[in-house]
Amino acid sequence: MEKLMYALWKPAAKQGDEFRDELLAHLVPELNALSCVQGLRLCVADSAVAEAAGRRMESHAPAPDAMVSIWVDDGGASAQWEPLLAAAAEQSTGYLVAEAEPLIAREAHPSKPGERQYGMCHVVFMSPPDTLSRDEWFRVWKDSHTQVAIDTQSTFGYRLNVVVRVLTEGALASHAIVEENF
C-alpha cells in the first residue's frame, strides 16, 4: 500500500465551497470507483474554515486550495487517477509519502466515510532550514518537535508524511507534509 498526496489549486473564478462541491460530486466518486484506490481523504479550504484564513502561513504562494490523499496498491498506476485530478483542478502536484500517525483524529472525533471531519485540517509543506542537514532536521522534527506540537496545541490529529518522491512536475519543494487536525 502506498500513500499519495496531491495538492490542488482551484480555478481563480471559483469560490472554495463551489470547488469543494465539485470535488465531492465528481472527483471523489471517480477515484473511489478505481479498484486500485483503497482509501481517500479530501481537505478543502472552504467557508467552514474561512475564519482561520488569516492564520494561514504560506511559504509557497499561492497555497493549494485542496489536498487529496489517496491510498493505492501501486503508485506506478498513476495513469488511472492523475487525469482525473488534472481535470478537477487548475493545477495539481503529487507526492509519494511515507505516513506516520502519532495522534489519530478519528479516535477523538469519529466520522463516517463521506462525512466532514470535525474542526479543520492544517496542511503544512516543510523543508529543513539551511542551518540543518536533512538528517538532523528529521531527527529534531520526529524525535522532539512532533511531541511538543501535540502537547502544546489543541491538536486532535497529527499525521507526518515524509516525501519519498515527487510525482509531478511543478511540485512545491518539500521534504515533508504535515496534517494537523484542530
pLDDT in tens, 93-125: 999 999 999 888 777 788 888 788 888 888 999
Would you say 53 and 45 are in contact if contact means Cβ atoms under 8 Å apart?
Answer: yes
Would you say 5 and 95 are in contact if contact means Cβ atoms under 8 Å apart?
Answer: yes
Q: What are phi and psi of 109, to 5 degrees?
A: -135, 85
Longest Cα separation, the chain: 46
Q: What is the CATH number of the domain that holds 8?
A: 3.30.70.100
Cell numbers given for 47: 467557508
Q: Give me the sign of the Cα torsion angle 78, 79, 81, 85.
A: positive
Model-level pTM? 0.91
Closest to 115 measured CA to CA, from 33, 16, 18, 48: 48
| Residue range of the domain that includes 163 | 2-181
Residue burial 4-19, b: 16+ Cβ < 10 Å; e: rest: bbbbbbbeeeeebeeb
Number of domains the chain contains = 1
How many helices (DSSP H) and strands (DSSP E) are in the chain?
6, 7
pLDDT in tens, 126-163: 999 999 999 999 999 888 888 888 888 888 888 999 99
Residue 64 has pLDDT above 90, yes or no: yes
